Chains A and B, each alone.
Chain A
Amino acid sequence: MSVAQTVRVGSETVEYRVRGQGPPLVYLHGGLADSEWHAALDLWAERFTVHQPLLPGFGASTGGERMESIEDLVFHTLDWLDATGLSGEGIVLVGASLGGWLAAEVAVRYPRIAHRLCLVAAAGLWLDENPPAELFGNDPPHLAELLFADQTHPLAAIMHAVTDISQLPEEVILRQFRAMEALARVAWNPYFHDPKLEPRLSRIRAKTTVVWGEADRFFPLAYGRRYAERIPGASLVVVPEAGHMVILERPAAVAAAI
């Protein structure tokens, strides 16, 4: 198991988990289900010391209401890296979905903070011809269809079983609402992207791998292609039979990308 720790960052508390041995790998999670420890992190922990901070508003991490833009999350992440002594080491930086967007935003501002970058089904861009799907206001069964290629995945199955959210335990609903609120604060409008990110991607110096589920219905594969085109020297790994939650659906394929 990973070890859960907390650290004070400014006036906030950040919960983070650490496991494994080797050079540091920082994993920035997305807004949905990958804030739990998951199999891909275990695979990386065989080769890296994996650090998984929980974004503000998730788990015991506080300050969600103060994160009003991706810029706020960038500075928060930098402060956490400083507080844990990781900022000087040249890390492997991995992010999925919202976390992928955040990783890209950190990397364009501070190209030397990571020597290796991995963006998994990252938000952050907008393609007029292929706008991302609507996340907000969807009930769990529709979300499952949006996020998973395989509707029999255990998490997708759980989401399909929720036909009436008022039947869930109050603390589960509350946790879900808080997470969605934290997401909306950063990503309602502009919707899950920063118009200034794409022209800045050429600043990235880390060796970059972009990993995408071939059947991603939230951010279709065209987004992965665009990231790979714009980041100098980046390679694209397309994982077949996987959706937006590629990191949960095909952990071995994603972990092997680094």
Chain B
Amino acid sequence: MEFYFFHLMPWPHLPESYQGPAWIRCPNELYDPERGVAVYNRYIDELVYAEKLGFDGVCVNEHHANAYGNMPSPNLIGAILARQTRSCKIAIVGNALPLYNPPLRVAEEFAMIDVISGGRLIAGMVVGGGPEYYSNGINPAEARERFYEAHDLIVQAWTRPGPFVFNGKHYKLRYVNPWPRPLQKPHPPIWIPGAGSLETMEFVARRRYAYMGIPYFHRRVFQRNFDFFREACEREGYTAKPAQMGWLCPIYVSESDAQARREFEPHFWYFAKRLLPGIETSPPGYTTARSAVKLVTARNDFLLFVENWQQVVEGRYAIVGSPETVFEQMSEMIESLGVGNILTLLQIGTLPAELTRRNMELFAGEVMPRLRAWERARASNAA
């Protein structure tokens, strides 16, 4: 079991007077670069601190034109982390492949980070969120097709001797020959985040990559998706390893359950009610019409439509409480989902630096060791 510290780099300063969506049309006058200096540097410090606390890795991801996550280029942050950390894995989950043209750029930048970090990169590849297709002009009806073709190009660029010709439908290159090549062989591990699209899970199963469940859904959605993923692996003729499955969850630890909720709840609702609205935008063709219908009918299992704290706790949209409570709820979820990569979201919304730091320390000091010991005991029982 491995623990990752995931940062979204949210914009914590949306004014009360603005109650619109945080995506696509959220006026960028609300972004204040003067305050951005402190925000970025604080968040990078938190990522670097995670390594000191004993996390196995750190995670960053890509979003555009929004207040939810200020990382249009996670590779820039990944490059900083390659220098500011020494041994932890750097999971960039991921680059939205269809937004790069040619996506060879992704092969190049990922290879650079892998080499600079001494082989610590986890290469995440995503279709990208629905809103990105408004902000970048790429046709959402081509999103999946471009994603699969870009993936093929990148993996070939890493594994085939160059130069070679790549003549795809969307990408036509006569000289594929990227310098540098990645350090890890045959290439950095590939993680694919997904929100439950069946074809994405089948693709990950076929390639034996790792699947990361996109959060903010009710636990039963995670359960259904990971169960489906395991079945997809069985259909491919093998049993999925826990390391092939990642579960991302907002977590907050404090001295007692009551104190944890008191400290955390307002910052969590800022996230759910101010930063999430707009994320559900699903442009036409972005998923198959059938998947889109499935998402529409599953919307009541999405955090954006959750109304009260009891629902948050019951659906495990976040795990919040004393070290004991957090350990119990997490171990139960990990066992039930069968996941091996635990992606912790220990900063969320407006959660300030001081509380974030204490949350990280309590999680790393009081919860993580118990989960590791619990995992070892489980493994030896199984043996």
Could you say which residues of chain B place their CB within 8 Å of the CB of A173?
Answer: 293, 296
> Does chain B have a CB within 8 A of A118?
no
Closest to B278 in A: A137
Q: Are A189 and B137 also in contact (CB < 8 A) when A178-B289, A181-B289 are?
A: yes
Could you say which residues of chain A place their CB within 8 Å of the CB of B284?
Answer: 136, 177, 180-181, 183-184, 188
Interchain nearest-CB distance for A184 vs B (Å): 4
Annotate B288-302 by CB proximity to A: 1 below 8 A, 0 otherwise.
011011001101000
Q: Which of A137, A170, A189 contacts B138 (CB 8 A)?
A: A189
> Does chain A have a CB within 8 A of B141?
yes
Q: Which of B140, B142, B289 contacts A174 (CB 8 A)?
A: B289
> Does chain A have a CB within 8 A of B197?
no
Find out whether the CB atom of A189 lies under 8 angstroms from the CB atom of B139.
yes
> Does chain A have a CB within 8 A of B283?
yes
Residues 112 to 167 of chain A near chain B (Cβ within 8 Å): 136-137, 165-166
Find out whether the CB atom of B289 lies under 8 angstroms from the CB atom of A177.
yes
Closest to A190 in B: B137
Could you say which residues of chain A place their CB within 8 Å of the CB of B203?
Answer: none
Find out whether the CB atom of B285 lies under 8 angstroms from the CB atom of A137.
no
> Does chain B have a CB within 8 A of A225?
no
Find out whether the CB atom of A184 lies under 8 angstroms from the CB atom of B139.
yes
Closest to A185 in B: B141
Closest to A67 in B: B141
Could you say which residues of chain B place their CB within 8 Å of the CB of A183?
Answer: 284
Q: State A43–B249 Cα separation when bound (angstroms).
A: 61
Find out whether the CB atom of A181 lies under 8 angstroms from the CB atom of B293.
no
Q: State A165–B282 Cα separation when bound (angstroms).
A: 13
Could you say which residues of chain B place their CB within 8 Å of the CB of A181?
Answer: 141, 284-285, 289
Find out whether the CB atom of B299 lies under 8 angstroms from the CB atom of A185.
no
Q: Which of A165, A170, A174, A184 contacts B141 (CB 8 A)?
A: A184
Q: State A173–B138 Cα separation when bound (angstroms).
A: 24
> Does chain A have a CB within 8 A of B134?
yes
Chain B interface size, under 10 / 10 to 19 / 20 to 34 / 35 or more: 10 to 19
Could you say which residues of chain A place their CB within 8 Å of the CB of B140?
Answer: 184, 188
Q: State A174–B139 Cα separation when bound (angstroms).
A: 20
Could you say which residues of chain A place their CB within 8 Å of the CB of B292?
Answer: 177
Closest to B141 in A: A185
Most buried by A among B138, B284, B292, B299: B284
Q: State A181–B282 Cα separation when bound (angstroms).
A: 11
Name A's interface SS.
helix
Residues 194 to 209 of chain A near chain B (Cβ within 8 Å): none
Most buried by B among A166, A188, A189: A188
> Does chain A have a CB within 8 A of B281?
yes
Could you say which residues of chain B place their CB within 8 Å of the CB of A178?
Answer: 289
Could you say which residues of chain A place their CB within 8 Å of the CB of B285?
Answer: 180-181, 184-185
Find out whether the CB atom of B296 lies under 8 angstroms from the CB atom of A188.
no
Q: Which of B283, B290, B299 contacts A136 (CB 8 A)?
A: B283
Interchain nearest-CB distance for A70 vs B (Å): 13
Q: Which of B134, B283, B290, B299 contacts A166 (CB 8 A)?
A: B299
Annotate B251-295 by CB proximity to A: 1 below 8 A, 0 otherwise.
000000000000000000000000000000101110001101100
Interchain nearest-CB distance for A255 vs B (Å): 31
Annotate B96-116 by CB proximity to A: 1 below 8 A, 0 otherwise.
000000000000000000000
Find out whether the CB atom of B139 lies under 8 angstroms from the CB atom of A185.
yes
Interchain nearest-CB distance for A142 vs B (Å): 13
Most buried by A among B138, B139, B285: B285
Interchain nearest-CB distance for A164 vs B (Å): 9
Find out whether the CB atom of A184 lies under 8 angstroms from the CB atom of B283.
yes
Q: State A170–B291 Cα separation when bound (angstroms).
A: 12
Q: Are A137 and B293 also in contact (CB < 8 A) when A188-B139, A189-B137, A189-B139 are?
A: no
Most buried by A among B134, B290, B292, B299: B292
Closest to A180 in B: B284
Q: State A197–B41 Cα separation when bound (angstroms).
A: 49
Could you say which residues of chain B place their CB within 8 Å of the CB of A170?
Answer: 293, 297
Closest to B131 in A: A137
Find out whether the CB atom of A137 lies under 8 angstroms from the CB atom of B281.
yes
Find out whether the CB atom of B296 lies under 8 angstroms from the CB atom of A166.
yes
Q: State A184–B143 Cα separation when bound (angstroms).
A: 12
Q: Which of A166, A185, A188 contacts B297 (CB 8 A)?
A: A166
B: residues with CB less than 8 A from A are 133-134, 137-142, 281, 283-285, 289-290, 292-293, 296-297, 299
30 contacts between A and B (CB under 8 A): A136-B134, A136-B284, A137-B134, A165-B296, A166-B296, A166-B297, A166-B299, A170-B293, A173-B296, A174-B289, A174-B290, A177-B284, A177-B289, A180-B284, A180-B285, A181-B141, A181-B284, A181-B289, A184-B139, A184-B140, A184-B141, A184-B285, A185-B139, A185-B142, A185-B285, A188-B133, A188-B140, A188-B284, A189-B137, A189-B139
Given contacts A137-B281, A165-B296, A184-B139, 5 further A-B contacts (CB under 8 A): A180-B284, A181-B141, A188-B133, A188-B141, A188-B284
Q: A-B pairs with the 10 shortest C-beta distances?
A: A180-B284, A181-B285, A177-B289, A184-B284, A185-B141, A188-B139, A181-B284, A184-B141, A189-B137, A166-B296
